[in-house]
Amino acid sequence: MTLTLVINDDPLLRAGLRLIIESADGLRAHDTGTAEALAEARRCRPDVALLDLPARATGDFALLRDLLTLPNPPRLAVLSSPSVDKYVLPALRMGAAGYLLKGTSPEELVASVRALAAGNTVLSGLAASQLMSELEDEMQDADASSTARRMTASLSAREHEVLAMIAEGLSNADIGRRLMLGTGTVKDCVSDIFTKLGVANRVQAAVIAYRARLPRSHSPTPHAA
């Protein structure tokens, strides 16, 4: 059973999000305001956290950091509106595993919670486009590319291949199917990559892969029997 902590200072909104999440099989949810969020996260140890990021985001970035430095941090996604899109990249760089818009449909919200719980990254179209725009700019920066190439030099050939697939947006299960490896083996490999690169999540790893200009994987995906 996956537990999601909904963090929002609007009791009506967070109750609505909780009801949407709990309408799906295998999902449970608690909700709390920002002032009590850290204590509640310590108490219930959620698998996933959805953090509202309003226009006054300074204090909430501190909360985001505090949540991500818990002993067993949740997979955290920021829930925001297009009016505060300038916070997309700072939140992802701090270690958020996703960025969703408040207009996300109930079906998309449930799918995003499941994806987060499975270890994947979820991005709204806005967040994805902003991330790609910045990456395109950074790929023109020789210093950033050189630094990224030095960071990836410590990776094995298999880890380079897996990192390239992370940058393509593939899940551990998808990578396993391409490489004909068990999901557990891929998970261990991804963990080793994160440790060597000093990153907290797949978005940060993908940024380094793009900066290093790693070639896209051409490994065939096995056909189902």
Whether residue 218 is predicted with pLDDT greater than 60 in this model: the reply is: no
Residues 124, 104 contacting (CB under 8 angstroms): yes
- As a whole number, the mean pLDDT across the chain is 83
Residue 222 is given by DSSP the state: P
In sequence order, the β-bridge partners of residue 99 are 78, 123
- The model's pLDDT over 57-113, given as tens digits with 9 standing for 90+, comes to 555 688 899 999 999 999 999 988 765 566 777 787 788 888 888 778 899 899 999
Helix axes 34-44, 58-68, angle to 10 degrees: 10
pLDDT in tens, 166-217: 887 788 888 999 999 998 999 999 999 999 999 877 878 888 888 887 776 5
Half-sphere exposure of 99 (CA within 13 A, CB side): 28
> Looking at the whole model, is its pTM more than 0.85?
no
Q: How far is CA 26 from CA 19, 21, 44, 46, 176, in A?
A: 13, 9, 17, 14, 24
- How far is the C-alpha of 89 from the C-alpha of 204, rounded, in Å? 10
Query: DSSP characters for 131-171?
Result: HHHHHHHHTT-HHHHHHHHHHHTTS-HHHHHHHHHHHTT--
Write the CB contacts of 210 (distance below 8 Å, at least 6 apart in sequence): 135, 138, 139, 167
